């Protein structure tokens, strides 16, 4: 795996990103930073190249990938039909952490869409991703650059840990910003439907297009999610995670209980709660929901087997970006303590 560090030097950056774009054009896989999480990219029109992504990640074959492009014009070249509301969403939120599920025109390889009639397309808002996509000048299929089942990578070390030796290249562009994946929105019905909550909130979307639905499969255990990826085990830390709703006192009681059992405990909490806890190793995720979103996956990866037996994590507010934070935490949790 070739690794480029492009955090500081502008001239070196261009050279590195050009090399990475060439690798992708030649049918190889390259991990790169976006504003949400790192992606593992390959030529979306090359079936064999896309197959390498599935192989490196150990990803189930029926889980479709997002095609990344630099411009709206390139997005149009992948889809059949754009409803008026989708045009409005494109105007308002691209480039940005929003993925549009639209009727596919067949331009992407069949394994990108996992045989579905729709394709997910995103225009990322990150200078490195933008430059890479412009230089490659092809749609780039890119799931999050983690091993399937693990938390998504929010820095190059996370990618290295999971995929070193399994991919052709890694562009280290430093930590990502948003820290959670894009919002996936189905734009094939009369009303847009959120398939995965993410970087753009429901309130932000509704401010532009009015009513937005949430896939009932996300909240209801009995209903199957519309997005194939949402049914898999996800974001799993190395040790079990207990998600604790309520106050600092409730968290402290859970910590004490675990320690009495002889378990080594690691805590993930907001700054406000962290300050009130005692006698335990704590990762402070930040003072507000945006900071918490940005630090969450690094926190989930921080407590390794051997260092901790259990993670105790605060249940956060589901307002705004909190909806995406809690969606991920509920999937990561082995138990929710209310
Ligand atoms: O922020 C992100 O979206 C990151 C960065 C790299 O762009 N990518 C990402 O990709 O999170 P991935 O593969 O980890 O998640 C894509 C999600 C999956 O849940 C997948 O099932 C869903 O999008 N998806 C992709 N195409 C779809 C389609 N045509 N219909 C329904 N869901 C789709
Ligand atoms: Mg993923």
Q: Does 155 sit in the ligand 1 pocket, CB within 6 Å?
A: no
The CA distance from 262 to 60, in Å, is 37
**CA dihedral in degrees (195, 196, 201, 204; nearest 10)?**
-30
Tell me how far the alpha carbon of residue 256 lies from the centroid of ligand 2, in angstroms.
Answer: 34
Can you say how many angstroms the Cα of residue 128 is from the centroid of all Cα atoms in its chain?
17
pLDDT band at 222 (very low <50, low <70, confident <90, very high): low
For 125-174, how does the pLDDT look when each residue is reduced to its tens digit (9 = 90+)? 999 999 999 999 999 999 999 999 999 999 999 999 999 999 999 999 99
- What is the model's pLDDT at position 186? 98
Q: Is 3 annotated as a binding residue?
A: no
Q: Does 212 sit in the ligand 1 pocket, CB within 6 Å?
A: no
Q: Is 196 annotated as a binding residue?
A: yes
Burial call 47-70: b when 16+ CB within 10 Å, e when fewer: eebbebbbebbebeeebbbbbbbb
Number of helical (H) and strand (E) elements in the chain, helices listed first: 12, 16
- Half-sphere exposure for 79 (CA within 13 Å, toward CB): 25
Tell me how far the alpha carbon of residue 198 lies from the centroid of ligand 1, in angstroms.
Answer: 11
The CA distance from 101 to 254, in Å, is 41
Tell me how far the alpha carbon of residue 333 lies from the centroid of ligand 2, in angstroms.
Answer: 17
- What is the model's pLDDT at position 10? 66
The CA distance from 133 to 69, in Å, is 6
For 34-79, how does the pLDDT look when each residue is reduced to its tens digit (9 = 90+)? 999 999 999 999 999 999 999 999 999 999 999 999 999 999 999 9
Q: Specify the pTM.
A: 0.96
Res 228 pLDDT > 90:
no
Q: Are the beta carbons of 89 and 209 closer than 8 angstroms?
A: yes
Atom 3 (ligand 1) nearest CA: 182
Q: Is 36 annotated as a binding residue?
A: yes
Nearest one of 156, 138, 148 to 24, comparing CA atoms: 138
Q: Does 158 sit in the ligand 1 pocket, CB within 6 Å?
A: no
DSSP assignment, residue 79? B
The CA distance from 55 to 213, in Å, is 34
Q: Please report which ligand is nearest the Cα atom of 148.
A: 2
Q: Does 183 sit in the ligand 1 pocket, CB within 6 Å?
A: no
CA-atom Rg of the chain in angstroms: 20
Strands annotated E in the chain: 2-5, 30-32, 39-43, 66-68, 98-103, 118-122, 140-141, 169-172, 183-186, 193-196, 213-214, 241-244, 265-270, 281-286, 310-314, 335-337
Tell me how far the alpha carbon of residue 122 lies from the centroid of ligand 2, in angstroms.
Answer: 14
- What is the model's pLDDT at position 338? 84
- Which ligand 1 atom is nearest residue 124's CA? 7
Taking the CB of residue 275, how many other CB atoms lie within 10 A of it? 11
ipTM of the complex: 0.99
Q: Does 188 sit in the ligand 1 pocket, CB within 6 Å?
A: no
Task: Please tell me whether residue 142 adopts helix, strand or coil conformation.
Answer: coil
Q: Does 254 sit in the ligand 1 pocket, CB within 6 Å?
A: no
Q: Please report which ligand is nearest the Cα atom of 229.
A: 1
Nearest one of 2, 3, 54, 45 to 27, comparing CA atoms: 45
Tell me how far the alpha carbon of residue 255 lies from the centroid of ligand 2, in angstroms.
Answer: 30
Q: Please report which ligand is nearest the Cα atom of 124.
A: 1
Q: CB neighbours of 325 closer than 8 A, spacing ≥ 6?
A: 180, 289, 292, 293, 296, 316
């Amino acid at each position: 795996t070739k690794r480029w560090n492009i955090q500081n030097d502008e001239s070196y950056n261009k050279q590195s990103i050009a090399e990475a774009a060439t690798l992708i054009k030649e049918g190889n896989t390259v991990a790169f930073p976006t504003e949400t999480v790192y992606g593992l990219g390959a030529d979306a029109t090359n079936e064999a190249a896309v197959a390498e992504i599935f192989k490196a990640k150990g990803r189930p074959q029926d889980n479709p990938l997002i095609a990344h492009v630099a411009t709206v014009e390139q997005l149009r070249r992948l889809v059949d039909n754009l409803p008026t509301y989708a045009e409005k969403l494109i105007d308002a939120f691209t480039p940005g952490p929003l993925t549009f599920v639209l009727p596919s025109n067949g331009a992407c390889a069949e394994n990108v869409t996992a045989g579905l009639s729709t394709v997910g397309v995103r225009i990322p808002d990150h200078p490195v991703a933008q430059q890479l996509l412009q230089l490659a000048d092809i749609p780039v299929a890119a799931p999050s650059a983690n091993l399937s089942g693990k938390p998504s990578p929010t820095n190059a070390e996370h990618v290295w840990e999971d995929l070193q030796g399994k991919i052709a290249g890694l562009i280290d562009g430093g930590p990502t910003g948003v820290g959670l994946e894009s919002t996936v929105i189905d734009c094939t019905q009369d009303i847009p439907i959120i398939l995965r909550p993410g970087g753009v909130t429901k309130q932000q979307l509704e401010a532009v297009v009015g009513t937005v639905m949430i896939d009932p499969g996300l909240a209801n255990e009995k209903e199957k999610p519309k997005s194939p990826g949402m049914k898999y085990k996800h974001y799993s830390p190395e040790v079990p995670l207990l998600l604790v709703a309520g106050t600092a006192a409730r968290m402290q009681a859970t910590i004490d209980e675990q320690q009495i059992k002889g378990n080594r405990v690691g805590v993930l909490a907001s700054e406000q709660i962290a300050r009130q806890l005692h006698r335990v190793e704590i990762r402070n995720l930040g003072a507000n929901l945006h900071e918490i979103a940005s630090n969450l996956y690094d926190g989930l990866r921080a407590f390794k087997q051997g260092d901790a037996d259990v993670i105790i994590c605060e249940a956060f507010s589901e307002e705004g970006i909190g909806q995406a934070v809690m969606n991920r935490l509920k999937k990561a949790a082995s138990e929710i303590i209310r």
